Each structure stands twice: as C-alpha cells, then as structure tokens.
Structure 1
Amino acid sequence: MNGIRRYAKQFSLVMAILMAFATTFSVSAHAGMVGTGELIQQQQVNLDRQQLLDMLEQQEVKEKLTELGVSEDQVAERIQNLTPAELADFEQQLAEAPTGEGVVGIIVLFLLVFIITDMLCATNLFSFINCIR
C-alpha cells in the first residue's frame, strides 16, 4: 500500500507540473459573430476570382498571353494574390469594358493589374518597372 501511495504522490506532482505548464502557455480562443454581409462579400470575392481563372482557360487568352511572354501560371498566381479591393476594381473595369473589345480588353486589364502590382513591389514580373517605394 505504501508503494502505491509513493507512486501516487510522484504521479500527482508530475500532473500538477504539467497542469501548470498547460495553463501558462495556453492561448485563449476568441469567437465573434460573422455578419451576413461579410459572408456574402467573401463568397463574391471567391466567385470573382474563379471567373477570372475561368477566362484564362479561353484559347484566345492563352494565345495572347503566350504572345506577350507571360505564363498562365504567373497569371493564375497573381489572381490568387489579389486583394478583395483590387479584385473588385478589376471586375468593375471588366464589366465596364465595351463588349467589342473581347480578349484584347481582358489581356490589357491583366497587364494593368500586373504593372500595378509590380509598382507596389508585390511582384517582380516586369524588369523594366521599378518599385515606387
């Protein structure tokens, strides 16, 4: 019986130390309400991003990007890295573009986004564009 008590004391000491460490280094979780507007906005951003990626699948767009020396992977990566505000501006420009411009308008918009991200030092695709910082 004494042997069990001796092990129980050692065990409880180890458990008390572990409990102290666990409570000292634990991180509190914070939960908050997610509004419907925020949820809809996030879904819209995902939808806009997917629409742009779908445009990359058009053969005319692929040919024009190849002609300009830009790979599809680079374009897709940049689309994924766009902030929601940049994506909304891009979608607005795309919606306002005349329908007759077609693929050339899309390519020009992509290039404008690339130039802006190069100027903001977010990327370095074009060597002739310097950071504004």
Structure 2
Amino acid sequence: MFKRAFSRRLAALLAASHLLLVQVPLAQAAMIDTPEVLHAQQQQVDRQQLLAMLDDQGVQDKLVTLGVEREQVEQRIQGLTNAELAQFNQQLSEAPAGGIIGVIVLFLVIFIITDMLCATDIFSFVKCIN
C-alpha cells in the first residue's frame, strides 16, 4: 500500500514538473546586420559629440546669456529621437566653424516651441498656448 501511494505521489510530482518545464519559453537568437550595429554605434557617438560641445566656453557663455541650465540641455540631448539627432548632426556638419552657437540657439528655439505646446515647462516667461 505504501509503495502504491508513493508511486502515485511521485507520478503526480513528475507530471507537474513536466508541465512546468515544458512551458518555459525558449530563447531565440537572430543575426544582427552590420549596418544596424554601426547605425546604433554612430547615434551614440553623435550624442556624445553634442554633449562634448557643451564643454566649450563660448557655448557655456551663450547658455548663461539665454538663462538655460546645462543640465536641461543635457537631458534634451539624451531625449532626442534618432531622426532629430541625425538632423542636428547634419546641420552641424554643414555649419561654419562658429556654428556650434547656432546649434545651441536651435535647441533653445525647440525648447521654446515645446514650452508653448505645453510639452515642457523650462522657461517661466513662455506661456502655454492651450
């Protein structure tokens, strides 16, 4: 009698463990194209280059003049979409040597527009249009 009860419990335990183990999802691996990897790496490099430009004294002076904190600009750079990042880098590569300040001014215009659209609240002097 003891063997039969033990066998039933063991069979139930094995059946339950089998059901649990069969339901484990399998990991899938896929090949990643080289252009995808290069594109992702390039975006990271572009983002780092924009952040490095904030170390320039002329850019820092312009930010102080406009009343924008460096941390806000850094957060915005980190929050850029891939398309926006590509657009900024294209404009930067086409700009003359003093174009860094132009890019910063472009950032500020974007900040003001997003403040007007109530997406952000960076500048106290910009009122939401809604």
Moved more, 122-131 or 79-88: 122-131
Equivalence for 1:47:
45
Q: How many residues align?
A: 129
Equivalent position to 2:35, from 22, 34, 37: 37
Report % sequence identity.
48
- Say if 2:46 and 2:89, in contact at 8 Å, map to a contact too: yes
Equivalence for 1:57:
55
In 2, the alpha carbon distance for the partners of 1:12 and 1:119 equals 68
In 2, the alpha carbon distance for the partners of 1:85 and 1:71 equals 24
Deviation at residue 117 of structure 1 after TM alignment: 4.7
Q: 1:70 and 1:23, CA in 2 relative to 1: closer, same or farther beyond 3 A?
A: farther
Equivalence for 2:19:
20
Moved more, 27-36 or 54-63: 27-36
What are the residue-to-residue correspondences of 1:108-123 with 2, within 5 Å? 108-115=105-112, 117-118=114-115, 123=120
- Alignment RMSD (CA, Å): 3.2
Per the normalisation by structure 1, the TM-score is: 0.72
- Say if 1:94 and 1:109, in contact at 8 Å, map to a contact too: no
Q: 1:18 and 1:62, CA in 2 relative to 1: closer, same or farther beyond 3 A?
A: farther
Equivalence for 2:78:
80
Moved more, 107-116 or 43-52: 107-116
Deviation at residue 126 of structure 1 after TM alignment: 3.5
Per the normalisation by structure 2, the TM-score is: 0.73
In 2, the alpha carbon distance for the partners of 1:131 and 1:17 equals 61
Equivalent position to 2:101, from 104, 108, 111: 104
Which amino acid is 2:104 matched to? I
In the alignment, structure 1 segments of 5+ residues that lack a partner are none
